[in-house]
Amino acid sequence: MTTATQLYGLLAQYDEPEALRAAASQAYAHGYRRMEAYSPFPVESLATALGHPRSRLPILTLVGGVLGGVSGYGMLYYASVISYPMNVGGRPLHSWPSFIPITFELTILGAALFTVFGMLALSGLPMPYHALFNVPEFKRASRDQFFLCIQSIDPQFDINQTAAFLKECRALAVHEVPR
């Protein structure tokens, strides 16, 4: 038997999304907070059951969109009014209608880049090593099995009690996850 400090956490295995969601709700109700669930496909409302806070990603998307739009319009303004003013068909130098398509596209580009890289940053990716892969069964999280991991840093974590609790939550198996 390993001691709690050598463990990343305890991993409970399920073969049904419903069972995983039920276990997550029970664990949350029991007071566990430092936990994460793993499944081969998105499970509706699992994040709510785990008590995850709302993602901050939409804010990043908004910031990226606004930055993209402002810099797009600014770039066009600088190019056609300040840096290289040129009379095109007698139109004013600051012809806003012709600036809109590029402003729009850079808004989308900024929002998309911030969303992708923001998602990676908020998830802590890329992550070359993760303790969970020390459990051979965990490979099936991308195939046909559902996992709930309660981490050892949870204040409520106690190796024996938590393992017993997870078994009560009808886990098919409870694996110890070495660091």
Partner 1 sequence: MSSQVDSLALLSQIQRKSLAVGLVMSVVSAWCAFAVPGQFYPAYLVAFLFFWSISMGCFALSCLHHITGGGWGVAIRRTLETGASKLPLLALLFVPVLFGLPRLYLWARPSAVASDVILQHKSAYLNVGFFQVRAGIYFAAWILFASTINRMSAKCDLEPSIERRESLAYMSSVGLIVWALTTTFASIDWTMSLDPHWVSGIHGVITMAGQSVAGTAFVILTITLLSGYAPIARVLNASRLHDLGNFLMALVLFWAYTSFTQYLVIWSGNLPEETPWYLIRGRGGWQIVMLLLVGLHFIVPFLLLLNRSVKRKPRQLAAVALLLLAMRIVDLYWQVMPTFSPGGFQFNWVVLCTIPAVGGLWLAGFARRLPAFASVIVDDPHSEESHHHAHA
Return residues touching partner 1 (CB under 8 A).
Answer: 44-45, 58, 62, 89, 97-98, 100-101
Shortest Å, Cβ 89 to partner 1: 7
Closest CB to partner 1 among residues 102, 132: 102
Tokens 């709930």 sit at which residue?
A: 148
Closest CB to partner 1 among residues 34, 52: 52
| Cα within 13 Å of Cα(131), Cβ side | 16
* Type of residue found at 124: G
Closest CB to partner 1 among residues 89, 136: 89
Closest CB to partner 1 among residues 59, 153: 59
Closest CB to partner 1 among residues 100, 164: 100
Query: Closest Cα to residue 93, out of 109, 76, 107, 105?
Result: 76
Shortest Å, Cβ 97 to partner 1: 5
**φ, ψ (nearest 5 deg) of residue 130:** -140, 135
Shortest Å, Cβ 88 to partner 1: 10
Strands (E), the chain: 7-14, 35-38, 146-151, 173-178
CA–CA gap between residue 21 and residue 44 (Å, rounded): 9
Tokens of 40: 């081969």
Shortest Å, Cβ 45 to partner 1: 4
Shortest Å, Cβ 90 to partner 1: 9
* Type of residue found at 37: A
